[in-house]
Structure 1
């Protein structure tokens, strides 16, 4: 039997009044990360092969996204300064009002308070993403 502690997961989503393809293209472009993902990227992203080097609120992290695809999948692994790798499932789905982005947040190496803070940061990032993208169509 596996006796590792349980890892809590919660889903955070945001409806965006843009097409799924527009949302996917914007989020998949590493240059756009600092415009909406303050919880991950505080400054421009450096690209090193298939890795992104990101100065985050946690320190420098490495991010690897799955290859571009037609399914709206933006899963990515974040290697924390501690060396721990956190897999972040992200989907951009079609929605009657445009698109919905769904981000799974996992409680890895976080206290309950830190987990709640991460959930709030992801929700704020997704809201900012909607504001940035919806302002482009105004």
Structure 2
């Protein structure tokens, strides 16, 4: 294994507040975050979604003024995956930074495939926000 994490970022031609307002709403994740599966439903302070590997439980960061969009995914195996995600103001525009942490037993090829998947999801979010 070579790297333990990758920072994946994309520039979005919208203010950080506009990006945060959209991306902080869990119900919007199904429009752009394909990795979270489908059928996203709220259960108290957690959400569930259906994936190819079974149902996952997701906890999202509470709204904040720092641009933090972190979330935690509990897999059917019991493994918990931490997903750091940040919106950073860059003048009238913003940067969205996703930190992809390598999970145990993930080889280089799978890690690269995961990074490509996340990059496609970030591009989808950019397209949604810039077309609004």
Distance (Å, rounded) in 2 between the aligned partners of 1:55 and 1:70:
30
Runs of 4+ in structure 1 displaced over 2 angstroms? 56-59
Deviations 1:68-98 (A, max 9, x none): 1010001111111211111111100012451
Distance (Å, rounded) in 1 between the aligned partners of 2:54 and 2:11:
30
Alignment check: 8 A CA contact 1:13 1:103 kept: yes
Equivalent of residue 25 in structure 1, options 3, 21, 24: 21
Alignment check: 8 A CA contact 1:11 1:102 kept: yes
Equivalent of residue 68 in structure 1, options 63, 67, 89: 63
Q: 1:6 to 1:87 in 2, by over 3 A?
A: farther
Report the number of matched residues.
131
Distance (Å, rounded) in 2 between the aligned partners of 1:131 and 1:84:
32
Alignment check: 8 A CA contact 1:7 1:108 kept: no
Residue 82 of structure 2 is aligned to residue 81 of structure 1: no
Partner in structure 1 of residue 102 of structure 2: 107
User: Which consecutive residues of structure 2, in runs of 5 or more, have no partner in the other structure?
Assistant: none
Partner in structure 1 of residue 119 of structure 2: 123
TM-score (norm 1): 0.87
- What SS class does the counterpart of residue 35 from structure 2 fall into? coil
Alignment check: 8 A CA contact 2:71 2:82 kept: yes
Name which of structure 1's ranges 78-87 and 109-118 shifts more when overlaid on structure 2.
109-118
